[in-house]
Amino acid sequence: MRLKIRGKRRLQGVVEISGSKNSAVAILPAAILADDPVTIRNIPDINDVRTLIFILQEIGYCVNYSNNVLNIKQIANINYDIRSQEVKKLRGSYYFMGALLGKLRKIKTCSSGGCNLGNRPINYHLDGFQKFGVSISEFDDELWMKAKRLEGTRIDLEFPSVGATINLMLAAVKAKGVTQINNAAIEPEVIEVGNFLCSMGAKIQGLGTTSLIIIGVKRLSGTDYTIGFDRIEAGTYIILGTLAKGRGITVKNIDPSKLTTLLDLLQGIGCNLTVGESEITVFPAETLRNFSIITKPYPGFPTDLGQLITVLMFLIEGESSLKETIFSNRFSHVRELQKMGASITTVDDTLYVSGPCELKPATLVAHDLRCAASLILAATLCRGITFIDNIDVLLRGYENPVQKLKNLGLSIDIIP
């Protein structure tokens, strides 16, 4: 599928932010740990969620999903063999490892998919599972894991990996005894999954700190849980607001305290923002100062916003730069932006923009989710029509992006 966008900077209006993708893709697999039905609200309607629903149905669950509310109930013996093409479609499918180990102490799976952001090993997940007493056999891209029982343990993560922290937490809540995870990730999505598990009766202490203590329980009950906002979707529309020249873009249904690093950066370079309790309005600004930013684990500048903030650099006089420290291949947008005539280069893990840059329309390819979003932002800046191919990657992670952008006044259409 391709997107057709007629560039326009006079954008304005209100955009409501959806539930968090990265919380949802962990909470759906985590729901199988409950022994009763579970209701989850504010689940974004994105393709990654649709894929996880398919996997849940395949393994023995009845799932009803409408109006962003999902009800899930076990209706058959659980099939712990999830080797399938669906698993390969997204990264988050690897949370079935922790969830099925916690539930049944076994799983057969294959390597998960997701955006190609360079080498994405799962050694911290697997080393951690082994510490619980899980034996792991690897054949080609298959993983077979089983344990007689999960024993609480101490895990010192080499890096505060979001995925490993969540996966190990999923196993730990049903392990025997106490598990300690040190150097744990403190991203809001980790806290959210922890809160979801606690709402089912899990015992987790230290959420939001780098040391988690988890006391295993025998049984987890059902729950009715509402997922919080997607901070990366919010950041995407806030950055769009800094590019627009209309009467302001208001980003609603958010918690600005989870966006501090982005907001500090934008205010520091001269952007015109009004920050409320649960919304932010971005107004056009006169002159912005060039900046250098480094991606870091939370609360640092999120790697997921790096490709998006690049587009703001095109409006600013002087050299701006972005150093990416989390993933080895997060600059897939650079060659596409060069096709638009942008003055952008990379040296090792850093990209440099020499601004201001006048962008011209081109036919582009979206290589990954955030690349797609950054190309849309760039397309708003140039006069004329930009085409973006492979736009399916965008629909994996943004809810209703075309309608949300149309509501702000952008001429944007999907061409099948």
Contact residues for ligand EPU (CB under 6 A)? 22, 25, 91-92, 115, 120-125, 159, 161-164, 187, 232, 303-304, 326-327, 369-370, 397
* Angstrom distance (rounded) from CA 391 to CA 372: 7
Inter-residue long-range contacts of 251-254, CB under 8 Å, 24+ positions, other chains counted: 251/15, 251/17, 251/279, 251/280, 251/281, 251/282, 252/14, 252/15, 252/16, 252/17, 252/278, 252/279, 253/16, 253/17, 253/229, 253/278, 253/279, 254/17, 254/229, 254/278, 254/279, 254/280
Q: Give the residue with the Cβ less far from ligand EPU, 95 or 283.
A: 95
Residue 304 CB, shortest distance to ligand EPU, in Å, is: 5
Catalytic residue check, 115: yes
* Angstrom distance (rounded) from CA 343 to CA 346: 11
Residue 9 CB, shortest distance to ligand EPU, in Å, is: 26
* Angstrom distance (rounded) from CA 378 to CA 375: 5
Q: Give the residue with the Cβ less far from ligand EPU, 94 or 225.
A: 94
Instruction: Please identify which of the residues 115, 271, 357, 382 carries the catalytic annotation.
Output: 115
Q: Give the residue with the Cβ less far from ligand EPU, 33 or 305.
A: 305
Q: Give the residue with the Cβ less far from ligand EPU, 89 or 105.
A: 89
Residue 319 CB, shortest distance to ligand EPU, in Å, is: 26
Q: Give the residue with the Cβ less far from ligand EPU, 38 or 232.
A: 232
**Beta strands 318-323; 292-294: pairing state:** parallel
Residue 383 CB, shortest distance to ligand EPU, in Å, is: 30
Residue 123 CB, shortest distance to ligand EPU, in Å, is: 5
Specify which residues 47 forms β-bridges with.
Answer: none
Position with the least CB separation from ligand EPU: 163
Active site positions, annotated: 115
